[in-house]
Amino acid sequence: WWLNQVPKLNPTICIPTIPLLRQQFDLPDGGSNLPVLDVFISTVDPVEEPMLHTMNSILSILATDYPVDKYATYLSDDGGSLLHYDGLVETAKFAALWVPFCRKHHVEPRAPESYFGVKIRPYMGNLPEEFLDDHGRLRREYEEFKTRLDALFTLIPQRSEAHGREDAKGGGGKATWMADGTQWPGTWTEPAEGHRKGDHAGIIQVMLSQPSSEPQLGEPASSDHSPLDFSAVDVRLPMLVYVSREKRPGYDHQKKAGALNVQLRVSALLSNAPFIINFDCDHYINNSQAFRAAMCFMMDRRDGDNVAFVQFPQRFDDVDPTDRYANHNRMFFDATMLGMNGIQGPSYVGTGSMFRRVALYGADPPRWRPDDVKVLENPNKFGKSMTFINSIPVAANQERSVMSPVSLDEPATTELADVMTCAYEDGTEWGDGVGWVYDMATEDAVTGFRLHRTGWRSMYCDMEPPAFCGTAPINMTERMYQILRWSGGSLEVFFSRFCPLLAGRRLHPMQRVAYTNMTFYPLSALFVVCYHLLPLMWVFNGQFYIQKPYPTYVMYVLIIIVSNEVIGMVEIVWAGLTLLDWFRNEQFYMICATGVYPTAVLHVVLRSLGLKGMSFKMTAKQLATGARERFAELYDVQWAPLLIPTLVVIAVNVVAIGAAVGKAITWGWSAGQVVEAASGLMFNVWILLMFYPFALGVIGRWG
């Protein structure tokens, strides 16, 4: 209770003032002094994580409202899949229409799938006469683009088949072939030595090169060249890079954290922006002002220098209307995070967060920077690449507003290939003091913690309309596995060298409490399980498990319960939430406390004994809309041992109610006995109410 309340004592909302940023950084000639920015987006599998979502995110990034010559986008493909590569080629082509269209008509949001998904939107541009034609045209082009993306799934096997027949004598019968007639260096449809998941070469390809720094107007409408009139629109596209790191058996690839660290090094050698923003492949930019909003905090003259990252809330647009499985996490994103914002800043939640590059490299914040510059204790801290090491001081200049010229000559490509290898990090501090942190099921919380522990602060940036939107698992089993990863990962952090109790004095005392609460909470579940199983006493030995307690005890319990609920209510009013948001949160806590959190505890115990620990099981994404009935997956429960404890608790409570009623009838209880039994029944009913969404999910499967 105490751990939960202390971090809420000073909730703070900070609102970015974008017009002020424009005043300071926009130049009279239409140019801008805004700093350079690198955008990371990561994906693994073009089917499990529908490629259409990934490409939509990329389109929303390419079309966002940030000076086009001042940012570069890096797609990390952990699957090493030619589908992603060819899909990105198609996306780059379609962007040549989509991006100028967004600029011309001030379209929002700039992810075509959600833009075309809503029938009526107010027109924000100033060319209403041309809009209808352009809109219709673009919509057809987008449909064709989607068809081309889909076609890749058959085109690539066909192409490979054809090449395979030609090449049969050469022995390359099963290879996957690229459009240019060479063998794909990544994974093959039919896996082969050096071309399978976890065993393939590193690949890097600049899909769209750095644009010129001068605006470049498009062409007037003509049937073949440009279907739309872009003669008054800047048609430049920002830089776009495809990255697939090397993977070899025998190496731990460290999942997402490993992928992000490769992006960090590759981008340092190419654009080397002082700021970085990262996304999951299913999160797109919903508000094209988002990058500027984050910059307001980073460039703030007051304390901006000490900000390591600016975190945006995660919002989702595919959750069922009543949010049965608490996917929106409103209490966390609209209350807990604001509480932390008033201390040392919100935790990092994995996506939609802008970083200061040198903070990720392990630098001290200005506030704590000692006057004498510390000599590198470990000469191999960053690995062997001198080009990378030389890029560090350049990245430290947060005012830098011109992108370093990208060179792709022979030595540069060799160097790039080198920083993408598995062996590069051997003996370095990557994954520990440098970059995203390794060996935890949740790389996000621990990476944010490392920054706070070093004395950096973070900022929380909520805006309207929401900056980013993503997809959430609406299938109950998936949702529970996701929470299992989060809670197990949190506990792992608590029992690691990143334990908040071990941090030094740079961590704010209240922030320490917040992190302790955030990493320790799954253990509290053990008490909840006992509470849930109390009715067993009732079933077996006929006793009332609510005995007449001592009045002082009742007083303490009441004070705790009442204050807890009152604070909960104040919180929802203050944060603008609804009673339902709060109740969903309570419900899902109770559900997870029976099955998921104890399993997480078990994992961590097993891990400490050197047995199997938590793994980053990827969250299954919803199939692209239209493919199935919307929300059909709400009822799509997969059997998993994880569900059993919760089912047991439900059974115990149902049986307890039955037993009580049965006994009352057979033995004819006195009024006094009924009153006593009623207080017990109240608990049973309360527990069942808490488990209602779970029961619906399981029953739905049978129904």
Ligand X SMILES: O=c1ccn([C@@H]2O[C@H](COP(=O)(O)OP(=O)(O)O[C@H]3O[C@H](CO)[C@@H](O)[C@H](O)[C@H]3O)[C@@H](O)[C@H]2O)c(=O)[nH]1
CB of 567 to ligand X, least distance (A): 27
Closer residue to Mn ion (CB): 73 or 619: 619
Q: Choose among 420, 349, 352: nearest CA to 385.
A: 420
Does residue 371 have an active-site annotation?
no
Q: What is the 3-state secondary structure (H, E, C) of 353-417?
A: EEEEHHHHCCCCCHHHCCCCCCCCCCCCCCCCCHHHHHHHHHHCCCCCCCCCCCCCCHHHHHHHH
CB of 119 to ligand X, least distance (A): 29
Of 8, 255, 324, 356, which one interacts with ligand X (CB under 6 A)? 255
The interface partner of residue 49, options being Mn ion, ligand X, none and the CB cut-off 5 to 8 Å by kind, is ligand X
Contact by Cβ (8 Å): 383, 425: yes
CB of 472 to ligand X, least distance (A): 8
Closer residue to ligand X (CB): 244 or 391: 244
Tell me which DSSP letter residue 187 carries: B
Q: Choose among 576, 18, 618: nearest CA to 289.
A: 18
Binding flag, residue 442, ligand X (CB under 6 A): yes
Of 44, 358, 469, 657, which one interacts with ligand X (CB under 6 A)? 44
Report the sign of the C-alpha dihedral through residues 557, 558, 560, 565, in that order. positive
Residue nearest to ligand X (CB): 350
Closer residue to Mn ion (CB): 38 or 280: 280
Contact by Cβ (8 Å): 498, 513: no
Residue nearest to Mn ion (CB): 280
Closer residue to ligand X (CB): 230 or 520: 520
The interface partner of residue 592, options being ligand X, Mn ion, none and the CB cut-off 5 to 8 Å by kind, is none
Residue 400 token pair: 């830098």
Of 272, 351, 511, 517, which one interacts with ligand X (CB under 6 A)? 351
CA of 308: how far to CAs of 5, 70, 161, 299, 503, in Å?
Answer: 26, 20, 50, 12, 17
Alpha carbon 166 to its chain's center: 44
CB of 53 to ligand X, least distance (A): 10
CB of 280 to ligand X, least distance (A): 3
Q: How many residues does the chain have?
A: 703
Report DSSP letters for 557-591, one per residue. HHHHHHHHHHHHHHHHHHHT--HHHHHHHHHHHHH
Residue 313 token pair: 């809330």
* Three-class DSSP category at 309: strand
243 sits in which H/E element? strand 239-244
Q: At residue 403, what is the residue type? A: M
Closer residue to ligand X (CB): 274 or 489: 489
Q: What is the 3-state secondary structure (H, E, C) of 392-407?
A: HHHHCCCCCCCCCCCC
- Alpha-carbon gap, residue 701 to 637, rounded angstroms: 6
Q: Which of residues 485-504 bind ligand X (CB under 6 A)?
A: 485-486, 489
Report DSSP letters for 229-240, one per residue. --TTSB----EE
Beta bridge partners of 187: 81
CA Rg value for the chain: 28
Closer residue to ligand X (CB): 358 or 472: 472
Residue from 45, 444, 462, 581 carrying the catalytic annotation = 444
By rule CB under 5 A, what count of residues binds Mn ion? 1
Report DSSP letters for 2-62, one per residue. HHHHGGGSS-------HHHHHHHHB-TTS-B-PPPEEEEEEE--TTTTTHHHHHHHHHHHH
CB of 282 to Mn ion, least distance (A): 5
Site string for Mn ion, 269-308 (x = CB under 5 A): -----------x----------------------------
The interface partner of residue 244, options being ligand X, Mn ion, none and the CB cut-off 5 to 8 Å by kind, is none
Contact by Cβ (8 Å): 74, 241: yes
CA of 627: how far to CAs of 151, 281, 630, in Å?
Answer: 16, 19, 9
CB of 667 to ligand X, least distance (A): 52
Q: Which of residues 616-645 bind ligand X (CB under 6 A)?
A: 616, 618-619
Site string for ligand X, 583-622 (x = CB under 6 A): ---------------------------------x-xx---
Q: At residue 370, what is the residue type? A: P
Site string for ligand X, 265-304 (x = CB under 6 A): ---------------xx-----------------------
Per CB under 6 A, the segment of 42-50, 549-557, 630-638, 669-677 that binds ligand X is 42-50
Binding flag, residue 350, ligand X (CB under 6 A): yes
Binding flag, residue 346, ligand X (CB under 6 A): no
Closer residue to ligand X (CB): 134 or 280: 280
- Alpha-carbon gap, residue 26 to 34, rounded angstroms: 8
Closer residue to ligand X (CB): 76 or 454: 76
Closer residue to Mn ion (CB): 281 or 294: 281
Per CB under 6 A, the segment of 18-26, 254-262, 569-577, 685-693 that binds ligand X is 254-262
Q: Which of residues 644-703 bind ligand X (CB under 6 A)?
A: none
Per CB under 6 A, the segment of 43-51, 65-73, 214-222, 537-545 that binds ligand X is 43-51
* Three-class DSSP category at 527: helix
Contact by Cβ (8 Å): 571, 8: yes
Beta bridge partners of 240: 73, 208
Residue 499 token pair: 């334990």
> 509-533 and 579-594 helices cross at what angle (nearest 10)?
70
Q: Which of residues 55-94 bind ligand X (CB under 6 A)?
A: 76, 78
Closer residue to ligand X (CB): 484 or 656: 484
CB of 608 to ligand X, least distance (A): 20
Relative to beta strand 275-280, strand 195-196 is unpaired
Per CB under 6 A, the segment of 2-10, 39-47, 106-114, 632-640 that binds ligand X is 39-47
- Alpha-carbon gap, residue 346 to 13, rounded angstroms: 11
Does residue 38 have an active-site annotation?
no
The interface partner of residue 323, options being ligand X, Mn ion, none and the CB cut-off 5 to 8 Å by kind, is none
Residue from 38, 78, 86, 229 carrying the catalytic annotation = 78
CB of 351 to ligand X, least distance (A): 4
CB of 558 to ligand X, least distance (A): 37
Residues forming contacts to Mn ion in the complex (CB under 5 A) are 280
Active site residues: 78, 444
Residues forming contacts to ligand X in the complex (CB under 6 A) are 42-44, 49, 76, 78, 255-256, 259, 280-281, 350-351, 442, 444, 482, 485-486, 489, 616, 618-619
